[in-house]
A and B are shown apart, each in its own frame.
Chain A
Amino acid sequence: MGSWLRSALAVAAKDVRLELRSKTSLLSGTVFAALVLLIFNFARDPTALSALDLAPSALWVTYAFASIVTLNRGFAVERENAALDGLLLAPLPRGALYLGKYFANFVFVAFIETVTLPLFVLFFNLDLSTSWWGIVLVAFLATAGFLAAGTVFSAMVIRTSFAELMLPVLLLPFMVPPLMAAAEATAHLLGGRPLSEVQGWLRFLALYDVAFVTLCGMTFSFVVDE
């Protein structure tokens, strides 16, 4: 188990190091998320709809789109110079390879989410002083959920000719349950409700995470092995 996890972390570290050298994905993902938040603000009629009513859905739509943009890159970098073949030749269990890719995607998306959360507070004029850690917990669980299937699909779509379009078509139905849970929980927390009130949603998200990470890890070998 120890070596298994170490292999996964090695794969994740490789991806993070690669990204830190080019920074293209992180930078464009962050800018993209900030722009979506900005557009949400201009699409809202402030006299008709209060910021608090729109905030949870705006936040989660932004996070969902930013994740898709980031996921598109995850395996595209492996396609260049057939780097994926090298990874597959390495003595690496497929489950560990999946987990490594999953961790790396999680680090990228978590980074984008962390950077854009203050912008979200600023644009929507919110007070997160009491609810911020609840929202961070919800974001952690929901992101962990939809990246599970997202990582598998991103490995699939690079084999098609229109990967950028294929990924959202496949992934969005899988994003629905975690997004619905996250948006609901966020709405409650922003409304000043205690964390205990969203416990049902948190449990639901945790269950989704465990179920999908397990099944995706198990089926991943069918996606990468010839």
Chain B
Amino acid sequence: MSADLEQARRIVRRGAWLTAIAVAGAAGIYVMALSFTPPDIRQGLAQKIFYVHAPAAWNAMMAFTLVGISSGLYLWLGDPRLDRFAAASAEVGIAFCCVVLTTGPIWGKPIWGTWWTWDARLTLTLFLFFLFLGYIVLRRALLDPLERGRFSAVVGILGMLLVPFIHLSVYFFRTLHPQPILMKPSSPSLPPEMLRTLLTSFGVFTLLYIGFVTLRYGLALALEAQEARRHA
């Protein structure tokens, strides 16, 4: 029992270190973006939010994809580590999704002239957010750990299948009803300074993801060990 707890403590410590490094890196990104990267000619300072927004979005999508994959593997192999990882990844994915959904409108208001628009990508992110919120709520509502693992894995797999359908439906929805958006973000070829900052930001955010997931994984392990001790 205490061996489990000891292992959990080691993992949490490792996660805390990774997170600390990533947070320091995120502070560095701000400095880099604000002082060493030229402002965008058309969007001005508003464009700076992309150094947070885009990497967070990328990590949220990665987190949710990994939930789907590890859910499938969990049902196949039945390894509790996969279940723990899926749960950790879903929670961290939700956190990143929150970042995406708050930074997006902040940028959208000055640039698009509106906080929110039912664009395909925005809609997809919002529904993914709700989908995984449901996933977490279900996990909290189930007491038996084996049942929790199986049920949430099924939701994770079905969620993976849902993503292309949501994407397709919002895409159809828009193509059938073309609505002019005042200004669309084109994908400009970034000048090297901006690209450097953006790529660094991607790296830092991925490290942050790994740190958070490690932390969360360790905490889940500690909780399980504690639970087992109580029942023993």
Contacts and interface: CB of A to CB of B under 8 A. Distances in A.
Interface of A: 149, 152-153, 156-157, 159-162, 166, 169-170, 172-174, 176-177, 180-181, 184, 200-201, 204, 208, 211-212, 215-216, 219, 222-223
* Interface hub of A157, A170, A181 (most chain B Cβ within 10 A): A170
B130 A211 contact: no
B125 to A, nearest CB: 12
A173 B127 contact: yes
Given A180-B173, A219-B75, 8 more contacts: A149-B158, A166-B137, A166-B138, A169-B134, A173-B134, A204-B169, A211-B161, A215-B161
Nearest to B148: A159
B7 to A, nearest CB: 28
Contacts of B170: 180
Contacts, number: 83
Contact of B176 (A159, A184, A212, A216): A184
Contact of A172 (B130, B137, B172): B130
Contact of B138 (A156, A172, A201, A216): A156
B169 A181 contact: yes
A176 B138 CA distance: 19
B185 to A, nearest CB: 24
A176 B166 contact: yes
Contact of A173 (B138, B141, B157, B162): B162
* 8 closest Cβ pairs, A-B complex: A160-B141, A177-B169, A177-B165, A173-B131, A170-B134, A222-B150, A219-B154, A169-B134
Nearest to B168: A204
A170 B161 contact: no
A160 B141 CA distance: 6
Contacts of A159: 142, 144, 147, 151
B142 A223 contact: no
A222 B134 contact: no
B151 A156 contact: yes
A162 B140 CA distance: 11
Contact of B151 (A181, A200, A223): A223
A180 B169 contact: yes
B166 A170 contact: no
Given A184-B176, A204-B168, A208-B165, A162 B157 contact: no
* Interface hub of A152, A159, A223 (most chain B Cβ within 10 A): A159
Contacts of A215: 157-158, 161
B172 A176 contact: no
Nearest to B135: A170
6 contacts: A159-B142, A161-B141, A169-B134, A169-B137, A173-B159, A174-B162
B153 A222 contact: yes
A144 to B, nearest CB: 14
B155 interface: yes
Contacts of B166: 173, 176-177
Given A160-B141, A222-B153, A176 B158 contact: no
B168 A216 contact: no
B3 to A, nearest CB: 28
A82 to B, nearest CB: 16
A149 B157 CA distance: 11
A219 B150 CA distance: 10
